[in-house]
Amino acid sequence: MDVIESLLDITTTRNYVPVKVNELPIDVQVDFLISNHFDVFRSKEAQLWRLQNLYYIMTKDGQKKRFTLNRAQRHFFENYLAKGYKKIAILKARQLGFTTLISLYFLDLVIFNPNSEALQIAHTLKDANEIFNRKIIYAIKNLPKAVKEILDMSQAKASRQQFSYPDGSVSAIGVSNSARSGTFSVGVHISELGKLAKLYQGRAEEIVTGTLPAVPVGGQAIVESTAEGASGLFYEIFMDGWKIRETVTPAMSKAHFKCVFYNWTWDTEEIEAASVDGIISIDQMEECEIDWRAYQQENQLSDKEISFYYLKWINANKDVDKLHQEFPTHPMEAFLSSGSPYFNSRKVAEFLDRADNNYKRYSFINNEFVEDDRGDLYIYEQPKSGKNYVIGGDVAEGLLNGDYSVAMVVGFDKHIKALYRGHCEPDEYEEMVRSLGKKYNTALLAVEFNKDGNWVNTALRNNEYPNLYIRTTVDDITKEITKSYGWLTNKKNRDFMLGEAKKWFNSTDMINCKPLLEEMLTFVRDKRGKPQAASGKHDDIVISACIAIAVLQGKKETEQEKVKQHSIMTAVFGHH
């Protein structure tokens, strides 16, 4: 039984009638606790009871309501706040109530811990004032009379409330739209850091250099936000912490952010409310970038949940980008700047969590691969005698800030063996990939023919590399057969290679290549449904892997099979 509930579970007399204290009005209960058990009443152990009994909030429709933690708020309080985590970053869906919870949580700590101070930061002055007036001041005005009597609240400003106590102690809570120096013993709460960092880079820098360092070791720094693209301060804080989230204990959280994610499925009340009049079947859902049936299966959503999610898409003006940003199902999905994920982002993230650093890096120097911790070649498995390999290649111009030139080595078992990713000139790439092919038992080289790939394929042939991918075309009139070297990406075989890669991804139980997985997270369907890299991201590794997997399509996974010099595309689509 809760520490406060046990104190209230006693019988008293009211109007000459025996009654339990916990059955009396809340003002009477609070007066009883303050008069008889004040030390327990103000203790950390009693905070959950205080949060749900002392504070009132204004609902969305303007009604006064005693604050009660919803499912997501209670989980966060019990698993992170009550357990003493100090630095916490929350990636969230909209309307889960974290700003309200943290506002009241900090207010409660300030009231019952004299000589303490807390600061809340919002991305605009309007939002800061709304947090202060609708959440903090409203809660203060509606405190039980017995609590108000122990506080002097006369020292109030437009954005700061000070509390004075009979012994001369002083505490305060304030809000701001920018970071400022100070000593915030209780802590700092930054609401919608993603928006703040996106709109006001200077303020974001102040948070890093001024505000967060101003929180003492015992204080808390709580950051919560919806996502605002795969860049910026919030993205960096969250992604850095998400990678190590399993290792961040309360003690470690003094130095590292404990990153947590609450998606829209935590809003059980709204989901239930949306299904009162029935659910929308998938067959009735309008087609868009999201395959609703596949999305439901991939994310293990109930019929009620996928129906609710579809309604959110409608309410977002059918904007998938906005839907993913404000109502993400998976944390990686939230940060996509555009488009719907082509690969199952939940599975990609699971692979990233499990991926290790079991590889060695090499640089290509003087026609040989030299071990180098900063090299562009990652080798996950050295070539084995008798094994066959395919290398998918994507050639770039070699510009320092442009796309990468990539070569992906895949075994006939469809496991990734090596990855080259670097900025190099086409002639340097040709020398490297020729050496890499020889290293992997004269692997079948399938370098994309498009753009600079034409030059590379010609050079590979002139340098007599013996195992090049060949395309054949037949003249409709003369029936003359023409052979061409390299993988030609057009609409027809692009769809084919992407489809084969997706089937491979869906069937595999692990991919240990982090650079590939990271690109998969931002490989999306755009508004026209075309799969490609999200705005500002790369897909060179994805395309190289897709080429290798497509070339392997239809081949028997046996080590004795001889690599055939013909076009997989011919076998699938006929002569072209």
Query: DSSP readout, 334-394?
Result: HT-SSSEESS-HHHHHHHHHH-----EEEEEETTEEEE-TT-SEEESS---TT--EEEEEE
Residue 422: CB partners within 8 Å, gap ≥ 6? 376, 404, 405
Q: Contact, 447 vs 437, CB < 8 A?
A: no
Specify the pLDDT at position 565: 36
Give the Å distances, CA to CA, from 129 to 64, 132, 364, 461.
Answer: 19, 5, 58, 69
Helix (H) or strand (E) holding 88: strand 87-92
Look at the block and give the residue holding tokens 């395959």: 291
pLDDT winner (highest mean) among 218-232, 375-389, 531-545: 375-389
Q: Contact, 459 vs 430, CB < 8 A?
A: yes
pLDDT classification of 555: cutoffs 50, 70, 90: low
Specify the pLDDT at position 561: 39
What is the maximum alpha-carbon separation in the chain?
112
Specify the pLDDT at position 228: 83
User: Hey, what are 186's tokens?
Assistant: 């209780």
Specify the pLDDT at position 526: 79
Q: How far apart are CA 3 and CA 400, in angstroms?
A: 63
Query: For 14-27, what is the mean pLDDT?
Result: 86
Of 522, 12, 439, 434, nearest in space to 229 by CA: 522
Specify the pLDDT at position 428: 94
Q: Which residue has the higher pLDDT, 478 or 318?
A: 318
Query: For 164-169, what is the mean pLDDT?
Result: 90
Q: Contact, 414 vs 448, CB < 8 A?
A: no
For 185-219, what is each residue's pLDDT tens digit? 999 999 999 988 888 888 888 888 888 888 888 89
DSSP per residue, 269-321: HHHHHHTTT----GGGSPPSSS-HHHHHHHTT--HHHHHHHHHHHHHTTT-HH
Specify the pLDDT at position 124: 85
Pairing state between β 444-447 and 389-394: parallel
Sheet with 531-533, side-by-side order of all strands: 340-341, 523-525, 531-533
Query: For 5-30, what is the mean pLDDT?
Result: 87
Express the helix, strand and coil content of the chain in percent, nearest 5 each.
40, 20, 40
Q: How far apart are CA 122 and CA 78, in angstroms?
A: 25
pLDDT classification of 501: cutoffs 50, 70, 90: very high
Q: How far apart are CA 448 and CA 332, in angstroms?
A: 29
Residue 234: CB partners within 8 Å, gap ≥ 6? 89, 193, 194, 197, 223, 225, 227, 228
Q: Which residue has the higher pLDDT, 481 or 134?
A: 134
pLDDT classification of 181: cutoffs 50, 70, 90: low
DSSP H helices, 120-261, are 125-130, 138-141, 145-148, 193-199, 201-206, 212-214, 233-243
pLDDT surpassing 60 at residue 11? yes
Specify the pLDDT at position 572: 39
pLDDT surpassing 60 at residue 571? no
Q: Which residue has the higher pLDDT, 566 or 393?
A: 393
Specify the pLDDT at position 403: 79
| Least confident stretch, 110-119, 200-209, 247-256, 464-473 | 200-209
pLDDT surpassing 70 at residue 574? no
| Least confident stretch, 123-127, 175-179, 461-465 | 175-179
For 370-409, what is each residue's pLDDT tens digit? 999 999 999 999 999 999 999 999 998 655 566 789 999 9
Q: How far apart are CA 150 and CA 130, in angstroms?
A: 27
Q: Which residue has the higher pLDDT, 23 or 529?
A: 23
Positive or negative, the Cα torsion across 426, 428, 432, 435?
Answer: positive
pLDDT surpassing 90 at residue 545? yes
Residue 301: CB partners within 8 Å, gap ≥ 6? 265, 295, 309, 329
Q: How far apart are CA 403 and CA 518, in angstroms?
A: 15
Q: Contact, 389 vs 440, CB < 8 A?
A: yes
Specify the pLDDT at position 155: 79
| Least confident stretch, 307-321, 487-501, 518-532 | 518-532
| Least confident stretch, 109-123, 258-272, 333-347 | 333-347
Specify the pLDDT at position 562: 40
pLDDT classification of 180: cutoffs 50, 70, 90: low
Share of the chain above pLDDT 70, in %: 93
- For residue 409, the SS3 value is strand
Query: For 536-562, what is the mean pLDDT?
Result: 76
Q: Contact, 375 vs 531, CB < 8 A?
A: no
Share of the chain above pLDDT 90, in %: 62
Beta bridge partners of 189: 120, 222
pLDDT surpassing 90 at residue 15? no
For 278-294, what is each residue's pLDDT tens digit? 999 999 999 888 899 99
Specify the pLDDT at position 563: 40
Residue 45: CB partners within 8 Å, gap ≥ 6? 3
Query: For 61-70, what is the mean pLDDT?
Result: 92
Specify the pLDDT at position 519: 93
